[in-house]
Structure 1
Amino acid sequence: MIRACLLAGVASVSLAAGANAEPVSITIATVNNGDMVTMQKLSDAFEKANPDIKLNWVVLEENTLRQRVTTDIATHAGQFDVLTIGNYEAPIWAQRGWLEKITPDAAYDTDDLLKPVRDSLSYKGAIYALPFYAESAMTYYRTDLFKKAGLTMPTAPTYEQIRQFADKITDKSNGVYGMCLRGKPGWGENMAFFTMLVTAMGGQWFGDGYHATIDTPAWHKALDWYDGILKADGPPGATSNGFNENLALFASGHCGMWIDSTVAAGLLYDKKQSTVADKVGFAPVPTGSYTGGPTWLWSWALAVPVSSTHKGAAEKFVTWATSKAYVDLVAKTNGWVSAPAGTRQSTYANPQYKAVAPFASFVLDAIDNSNPNGKTAQPRPYVGAQFVGIPEFQGIGTQVGQTIAATLTGGLSADQALKSAQSATQRTVRQAGLAH
């Protein structure tokens, strides 16, 4: 009897201790894009459903996020439990053993994820990150400005036509700029667009044996177009403008055209966030002299590093934030037009989403038919559309991005920039043992 009472007492103490236990605290590193800001705002729902887990947020500008999470995971510092990464990092870091495999339960419905997106976040058949949103690229334009100028956007515009349109709709005296483009330096900022532009002009980063092919006619043609349109028709301070800054410019009526991620469509068509929501048209990315090459595919995804000390709680959050239930929560809170794009077949099959998202079928088709591993004009030793799928590209792309940006400010001529970029890139791949 005494022993039974003692055991009962121990049990009651244990239960009391469990009830009063501090919640597990996990730290989430994410980018300051609008969809992620929404995720943070709605995360109260997760904490209410999981009172044993507390969320700490580190929300950073894109370039800073990439630097911080790369440093953290490479040094196994364990500062973050959830990382916001993309399909550039996921297979590379998985191969290095830096990421946990993610195995959602049947209710998560992994098969509902769009196959190109799911495959891009996998390594040897296992998923290492779950997509929060995914994107290809498209051309946005102001239908009212085109009508005023007597212009019609072709179903398949060329870069030459786009330059002509930009010249005609630019009205700097009224704060309207014919073309907004990423000018902020960074491998995932200005170089994401610029790499796509180079491919369209018949160029690439490397040829056989990882010989850099930057100081070539195709890169010169791309830089002439980019430099020319932004200086003639772009907003001031273009080198400060990345995705978020251009989104804000377009949504507030200052851009006539913008070539960028398909994910911006949901924001530009949202009347709560865009003053031009009823004046937005869209078209494919322009073509150049080379067509049929690799096409933009990106996913901002959530991953759990092996250095996390709270992997179970971290994976629970990752699966919640990328689930069908989360999509429904966003739709209920902010409207279906704001639902996370590019990830789930069920979103694109939903009549409520299709009713408010005229761009839905266009975006779905662009992602379903994305071809990041497609051929460039000349054979290439790497994969990727708007990035090069090698670990060294983070450094290479950022350095070249700074050089390209310097042409916009007049710090370097095109010839100087491309010669410098060629030399620095070749030196890096040689030191890495890639070039031979």
Structure 2
Amino acid sequence: MGLAVGAALGSGVLSARAYAQAGETITVLMSQPQVGGARIVAAAFEAETGVKVEIVPVPLDQIQQQLTLDLQSGAKRFDAFDYWYISKGSLVETGVLEDITDRIEADADEIMPEDFIATVYDPYSLYNDRRYALPFDGDTHALFYNTEIFERNGLTAPKTWDEVITTSEAITKAESANGIYGMALMGIRAPLQNISVFANRLANYGGEFLDADGRPALDSDAALMAAQNLVATVPSALPTPAETGFDQALTAFVGGRAAMTEGWIDLGAYSEDNETSKITGKWDVVQLPVGGSQTESRAPLNAGWALGIAAYGSKKDLAWEFIKLASSAKMHLDLLTTTGSGIDPTRISALTSPEYEAFNARSQRAASASLNGAMAWPTGPQAPRMLESLSEQLAIMISGESTPEEAMELAQKSWERLLR
């Protein structure tokens, strides 16, 4: 019996109605990056209740398409699902995401909503003052670096975005002849990737995607400085940033071919994996650098996944029990300390736990930035289209076909049109 399965048994999270339906089956739609964690939860749920769980994996950008098709076709196959939190408003407005406010309030003692990191809980679940989900995976970025390469070049971890550029340039100049570059930069056209590296800079130059009134803020000085810094990082980065996605960046970093990369917290587990990593014991991680007048690091919510109930489903009570277990404090801690689960912190208790520190103290230190006023991405009904538009402009900019000024101006105008 695995640790996570054992932790679920007698967890005190599940209601009696879950045990009364042994032999039933629920179907859960999951984005590919969270499938490993979902299967651990499914095994635990089945072991405790006798209810079978079918996990249906899909590419992360197809969740909403699959749910809409499921509803409109009349198949109504899915009972629960995970979603990238930026699609929250769109999922609510299209009628596929169930309001679970009353369920959360009724089961508050088991759920312990006050334990969720506040800057994660609201962006993931709150829409028009109602709750629609429970957090599952609290994705933020940190700056990972290869200590061996840094020591060889007499360098220390950069604290500012300008230092990131000079550090990357120094390493690339000294070691590119041996196939080693200063930075693996995720510049590929995909919102989850090239907007993440832009958001890392935007948050830490003091910017926001939207202003306090919900208007686009890509015409701000902070947005322009973030874009300029991103472009200035390209020449010394692993070739070719416009074609570099997560898989390429991860492979280069754990393979010792990139001295730095901006990545999700669980990159620490990959870096220390004796079977796949060439840099075990030779890496470290720090909170994101700052820029401009900023003095304190701030983590943007790059990705991040929540679990909801299909509003059209016929097994809502069982779906609720499943997502309660998946997001529970005990289960979250076990997933957080399991290599390959794909799960990053969503709960204060797990983030600050001695178990997480023992599992990966370096990642725990970096992840603590998520408690520091994390910057959310747009989550309104138009957010998916807005982010596709921004990703397109960033890709053009990173490839050298436009300037930072042009990219931010065009993205700003696109967002203004979408929000009219």
Report TM bin, short chain.
0.7 to 0.9
* One-letter amino acid of the structure 2 residue matched with residue 29 of structure 1: L
Report the alpha carbon displacement of residue 365 of structure 1 after superposing the two structures with TM.
Answer: 2.9
Q: Does structure 1 conserve the Cα–Cα contact (< 8 Å) formed by 2:32 and 2:57?
A: no
Distance 1:295 1:32 in 2: 24
Distance 2:354 2:221 in 1: 48
In structure 1, the residue matched to 2:57 is 58
Q: Does structure 2 conserve the Cα–Cα contact (< 8 Å) formed by 1:85 and 1:300?
A: yes
Q: Mark the CA change 1:413 to 1:70 in structure 2 (over 3 Å): closer, same or farther.
A: farther
Q: Mark the CA change 1:201 to 1:125 in structure 2 (over 3 Å): closer, same or farther.
A: closer
Q: Does structure 2 conserve the Cα–Cα contact (< 8 Å) formed by 1:342 and 1:363?
A: no
Local SS of the residue matching 1:166: helix
Local SS of the residue matching 2:414: helix
In structure 1, the residue matched to 2:121 is 118
In structure 2, the residue matched to 1:30 is 30
* One-letter amino acid of the structure 1 residue matched with residue 227 of structure 2: L
Report the alpha carbon displacement of residue 256 of structure 1 after superposing the two structures with TM.
Answer: 1.0
Report the alpha carbon displacement of residue 348 of structure 1 after superposing the two structures with TM.
Answer: 4.0
TM-score for the superposition, normalised by structure 2: 0.77
Local SS of the residue matching 2:54: strand
TM-score for the superposition, normalised by structure 1: 0.75
Report the alpha carbon displacement of residue 250 of structure 1 after superposing the two structures with TM.
Answer: 2.0
**What does 1:253-272 align with in structure 2 at a 5 Å threshold?**
253-272=256-275
In structure 2, the residue matched to 1:43 is 42
Report the alpha carbon displacement of residue 342 of structure 1 after superposing the two structures with TM.
Answer: 1.2
* One-letter amino acid of the structure 2 residue matched with residue 396 of structure 1: M
In structure 2, the residue matched to 1:166 is 168
In structure 1, the residue matched to 2:309 is 304
Local SS of the residue matching 2:344: coil
Please provide the CA RMSD for this pair: 3.7
Q: Give per-residue Cα distances to partners, 1:243-273, cap 9 Å, x unaligned.
A: 4543333223232111233343343334455
Number of positions where the alignment pairs a residue of Structure 1 with one of Structure 2: 390
Report the alpha carbon displacement of residue 283 of structure 1 after superposing the two structures with TM.
Answer: 1.7
**What does 1:220-299 align with in structure 2 at a 5 Å threshold?**
220-230=224-234, 232-291=235-294, 295-297=299-301, 299=304
In structure 1, the residue matched to 2:146 is 142
Instruction: Choose which of 370, 376, 395 in structure 1 pairs with 2:385.
Output: 395
Q: Give per-residue Cα distances to partners, 1:309-358, cap 9 Å, x unaligned.
A: 221222222222223443465589x46x9794312344345434322322
Q: Mark the CA change 1:26 to 1:348 in structure 2 (over 3 Å): closer, same or farther.
A: same
Local SS of the residue matching 1:427: helix
Q: Give per-residue Cα distances to partners, 1:79-105, cap 9 Å, x unaligned.
A: 532221244344775588732314347
Q: Mark the CA change 1:88 to 1:356 in structure 2 (over 3 Å): closer, same or farther.
A: same
Report the alpha carbon displacement of residue 204 of structure 1 after superposing the two structures with TM.
Answer: 4.7
Distance 1:96 1:294 in 2: 33
Q: Does structure 1 conserve the Cα–Cα contact (< 8 Å) formed by 2:137 and 2:305?
A: yes
Q: Mark the CA change 1:415 to 1:77 in structure 2 (over 3 Å): closer, same or farther.
A: farther
Instruction: Choose which of 336, 342, 347 in structure 2 pairs with 1:344.
Output: 347
**Could you say which structure has the larger radius of gyration?**
1
Distance 1:276 1:301 in 2: 32
Distance 2:298 2:157 in 1: 23
Q: Does structure 1 conserve the Cα–Cα contact (< 8 Å) formed by 2:64 and 2:91?
A: no
**Greater CA drift, 199-208 or 171-180:** 199-208
Q: Give per-residue Cα distances to partners, 1:262-321, cap 9 Å, x unaligned.
A: 343343334455332311112221111142696423632211121222212222222222
In structure 2, the residue matched to 1:153 is 157
In structure 2, the residue matched to 1:314 is 319
Q: Does structure 1 conserve the Cα–Cα contact (< 8 Å) formed by 2:29 and 2:82?
A: yes
Q: Does structure 1 conserve the Cα–Cα contact (< 8 Å) formed by 2:99 and 2:130?
A: no
User: Structure 1: which 5+ runs fail to align?
Assistant: 1-20, 373-383
Q: Does structure 2 conserve the Cα–Cα contact (< 8 Å) formed by 1:139 and 1:259?
A: yes
Q: Mark the CA change 1:176 to 1:187 in structure 2 (over 3 Å): closer, same or farther.
A: same
Q: Does structure 1 conserve the Cα–Cα contact (< 8 Å) formed by 2:285 and 2:363?
A: no
Q: Does structure 2 conserve the Cα–Cα contact (< 8 Å) formed by 1:91 and 1:122?
A: no
**Greater CA drift, 323-332 or 190-199:** 323-332
In structure 2, the residue matched to 1:420 is 410
Matched, 1:190 2:188: no
* One-letter amino acid of the structure 1 residue matched with residue 80 of structure 2: V
Distance 2:359 2:53 in 1: 35
Report the alpha carbon displacement of residue 195 of structure 1 after superposing the two structures with TM.
Answer: 3.1
Q: Mark the CA change 1:294 to 1:74 in structure 2 (over 3 Å): closer, same or farther.
A: farther
Distance 2:240 2:77 in 1: 34
Q: Mark the CA change 1:428 to 1:106 in structure 2 (over 3 Å): closer, same or farther.
A: closer
In structure 1, the residue matched to 2:7 is none
Distance 2:166 2:276 in 1: 29
